Amino acid sequence: MKKNKKGFTLVELLASLVILGLLTLVAAPNIIGILSSTKTETYVTDANKLATLAEYKFRSDNAIVRPTELNKCIGLKMETLGTSEFKKPPYGGEYDPKKSFALVCYESVTDEGGATTNTYVYYSQIVEKITDKSGNVKDSGIQLRKVKEIKQDQVNGNMTGLVEGGAGAAIKLYDGTAYGTRVTNWY
């Protein structure tokens, strides 16, 4: 009688499982890191997009009263700028239209050569409202920052103490600078 030599031995199967397990241990953190990085990049992209929409609205809408006094700002709410650009926040929640806004501030800016000019500077804050399985709600996103300073490492996964944008709001910049008293109008 002939022996049937098809198939794998138990030792070969166990060795294969050990190798697959080790590959999973090595690859899983890298894959999770890539997915997390992509989600934070979405916040950065959307915050910059919000500021770009604010700049377009500010430059094209003559009904907006431009600040002419140094260190005064106007606020542009996300709902004013059009929320159709922001359909899919990274964690499956919704962008909070009361906490997501852009500021346009008239400021004195010094360039690398030391020359100072008065110009409009754009700030952006974008906040996603996330509800977990237990029904708890938390805010995640990018707190108010100058557009050119928005970077991926500034994403805040647990934003607390945010104040909604609106007349008289005590808006604070990430470095503690109060902007509430500087905002003259909201659009």
Mean pLDDT of successive 10-residue stretches along the chain, which has 187 residues = 72 87 73 64 87 92 92 89 80 86 91 91 89 86 80 54 45 54 83
Give the Cα separation of 173 and 113 in Å (integer). Answer: 26
CA dihedral 175, 181, 183, 187 (to 10 degrees): 110
Could you tell me the pTM of the whole model?
A: 0.69
Ordered DSSP codes for 67-103: --STTEEEEEEHHHH-GGG----TTSSEE-TTT-EEE
Whose CA is closest to 36, among 140, 127, 145? 140
Question: What was the pLDDT predicted at 32?
Answer: 64
Question: What was the pLDDT predicted at 142?
Answer: 82
Question: What was the pLDDT predicted at 156?
Answer: 55
Give the Cα separation of 115 and 108 in Å (integer). Answer: 10
Question: What was the pLDDT predicted at 105?
Answer: 92
C-beta of residue 147 within 8 angstroms of C-beta of residue 123: yes
Question: What was the pLDDT predicted at 36?
Answer: 57
Q: Who contacts 4 (Cβ-Cβ below 8 Å, separation ≥6)?
A: none
Give the Cα separation of 181 and 187 in Å (integer). Answer: 16
pLDDT in tens, 88-138: 888 888 888 888 889 999 999 888 899 999 999 999 888 888 888 898 888
The sign one gets for the Cα dihedral 141, 153, 159, 48 is negative
Side-chain half-sphere of 165: how many Cα atoms within 13 Å?
30
Question: What was the pLDDT predicted at 165?
Answer: 47
